[in-house]
Structure 1
Amino acid sequence: MSDLIDSALLKAEEKTKSIGERFTAPRRMVMKKLLEAEKPLKAYDIIGIREENGTPAKPPTIYRALEFLCRTGLVHKIESDSSYFVCTHSDHCHYDTHVPMVMICDKCGTVSEVHLVAVEAMINETAKSANFQISRTLIETHGTCANCRTAFA
């Protein structure tokens, strides 16, 4: 395992402990699989991972781990295709107030996350003035990344 993945897993564990949660083995396995991936994964892609004892992880275990990772802001779900990726702002991501914008390349499938501080503030202020409790927000954009535009130009 690379140093970057080890470091990200350690930070994820520290974050979960800081909010009074446990970073269980299934949560760690799912997070590791997402960190190793070069693009977002669907739950079906993750179900093939093996537990510590070598048995395949059961779908409910994977879905529970994904729900936890999303709820804690470590992972985001792309609603348009039900895939998951690791939040690049998890050190300050509060799931109910963080407003990530993801740019999804329709050619290669890569995802970039941008933190839109001004938009986040506007959305949260609007919700607050309407006495509305946000549970999650994600702005999805689809298009073509710079690499694919260059390759297909």
Structure 2
Amino acid sequence: MRSARELMVAYTATIADPDATAALFADDGVIELPYVSSIGRPPRIAGPDEIRAFIVGLLEMVPDFGFDHVEVFIDTPDQAFGEYSVERRTVTGRPFSQLYAGRLVAANGKIQLLRESLDLVRAARAVLPGGVADIPA
């Protein structure tokens, strides 16, 4: 059975494969992206099917999306906290540069919860047509 750390490493390694990534999550597993709804994305993605669809959408915006420099700072059998970065380009050629922080909760060898934070201003600049100007007030 995979530990939280093993699941975080697997998640970051398989993010470019929507099926493999979605398979890491429990049937009721969730990705939470607090505040990301301000740039038009759902803040909570629940279940492997929605997670797979979310990753497919991400790869449509950033085709070679992948995490670099993965560091796990907190590691218990059922929880892990780490940072991982991405330096790529969107389909429009804009830079997509992020440092993610993720808290992962595992249960029965699957991801129950992955709560990630990222810089929304940088994300808006990369993916919204008008950049930061498109963020609703």
- TM-score, normalised by the number of residues in structure 1: 0.26
The structure whose residues are more often strand, as a share, is: 2
Larger radius of gyration: 1
The structure whose residues are more often helix, as a share, is: 1
- TM-score, normalised by the number of residues in structure 2: 0.28
